Chains A and B, each alone.
Chain A
Amino acid sequence: MTETTMTEMLDREFLTIRGRFLDLAAAIDRFDRAEGDVADDPRWHQIQQVIEILASPNGHRAERAQLALSLNYSEDWRRIYGV
């Protein structure tokens, strides 16, 4: 739809991405300073999974991150619910 170059995109997005990554890094650092352990908490696994998706070379990262943060869907839900 637009003919934006990657350089123009970087000019436009760099400061936003920089700020959000620093926010994210600082938030995860806070866990290092906190007491206890969340290694078994599924939410912690979701965070790790989304970080991997961000670092992956494939596209559709937002869609894949959303799916990683979603409950599973079962095609036979109508049979289970009896409706």
Chain B
Amino acid sequence: MQFVDPHIHIASRTTDDLQAMARAGCMLVAEPAFWMGYDRSDPRSFYDYFRQLTEWEPKRTANYGMQYYAWMGINAKEAENVSFAREVISLLPEFLDRPGVLGIGEVGLHKNTRNEVLTLLTLIELAAQRNEQLLFHTPHLADKYRGTRMILDLLRADSRIVRSRVCIDHCEEHTIRLALDEGYWAGITLYPTTKATPERAADMVELYGPERILVNSSADWGPSDPLAVPHFMSVMRHRGHAESLIRQVVYDNPMKFLGQSRHFRMKC
């Protein structure tokens, strides 16, 4: 069965990973801009990073027969310096107009500070003005519940935001219902130790149904697995779930969500 990984950091992965993903049935990936493991020293560093995501990584991925899309944004971890972040945000419109760019992401909160909120409000404003799709990073560990509630508060206060074009990512057991109940897409990230395991993701699909749920590897430079989505698929099969249900979660849902972007072009 073919699958989509709607959140993976290809820039941090090797060609061996790309080959393994393609052999496992991956036909499309989406890469959000994120924290590359170090704080960049100058806003212009992001210009080159955005070029990497819009020029180089699509070619590298195409070598293995997979389609590539990117999201543009400044991550919450580098959002604390508001003036720095605003300089980066000023670079975004040029890249948001490029083919293969889905919208603004991953943006959100990290430690839930006031400055992070100020940067996020600027990003939400840009998205609303340009009618862009949004992909939200929710915080790690103990900060996740508070940060997710704060992000949902900000979105609820802006009537211009179309909820069906927003994904609240890295949902876990205590946040997924919050996102789904308010009409957003809920992303579940499959990590070996933090976030959710494939088994817990399957539990959440069983509890809440497959509608508006996306599963992703978010594989990056840390402990993560670029084959996490097929791992989830095998857990679902082992539990006796129908192939049609599995396909809905790993293929139909991401195609439906990503397909709302004006730059999305399905290549058969």
Interface residues of A (CB under 8 A from B): 1-4, 12, 60, 62-63, 65-67, 69-73, 77-78, 81-83
- Interchain CB contact (< 8 A) of A2 among B145, B146, B239: B239
Q: Is A73's CB under 8 angstroms from B117's CB?
A: no
Residues of B within 8 A of A62 (CB): 173, 200, 203
* Interface 9-residue window, one of B88-96, B99-107, B136-144: B136-144
Interface residues of B in 176-227 (CB under 8 A from A): 200, 203, 205-206, 209
**Is B153's CB within 8 Å of the partner chain A?**
yes
Q: Is A1's CB under 8 angstroms from B173's CB?
A: no
Residue pairs across A and B with CB atoms within 8 Å: the count is 55
Residues of A within 8 A of B145 (CB): 66-67, 70-71, 73
B102-135 near A? 1/0 per residue, CB < 8 Å: 0000000000001001100100000000000000
Q: Is A66's CB under 8 angstroms from B172's CB?
A: yes
Q: Give the bracket for the number of chain B residues in contact with chain A.
A: 20 to 34
Chain A contact surface mostly: loop
**Is B256's CB within 8 Å of the partner chain A?**
no
Q: Is A77's CB under 8 angstroms from B150's CB?
A: yes
Whole-angstrom distance between the Cβ of B248 and the nearest chain A Cβ: 11
Whole-angstrom distance between the Cβ of A41 and the nearest chain B Cβ: 14
Whole-angstrom distance between the Cβ of B65 and the nearest chain A Cβ: 32
**Is B245's CB within 8 Å of the partner chain A?**
yes
Q: Is B142's CB under 8 angstroms from A69's CB?
A: yes
- Interchain CB contact (< 8 A) of B174 among A1, A67, A78: A67
A2–B108 Cα distance when bound, in Å, is 36
A74–B252 Cα distance when bound, in Å, is 37
7 contacts between A and B (CB under 8 A): A1-B205, A1-B206, A1-B241, A62-B200, A63-B174, A70-B174, A81-B117
Residues of B within 8 A of A63 (CB): 173-174
Residues of B within 8 A of A1 (CB): 205-206, 209, 241, 245
Whole-angstrom distance between the Cβ of A22 and the nearest chain B Cβ: 18
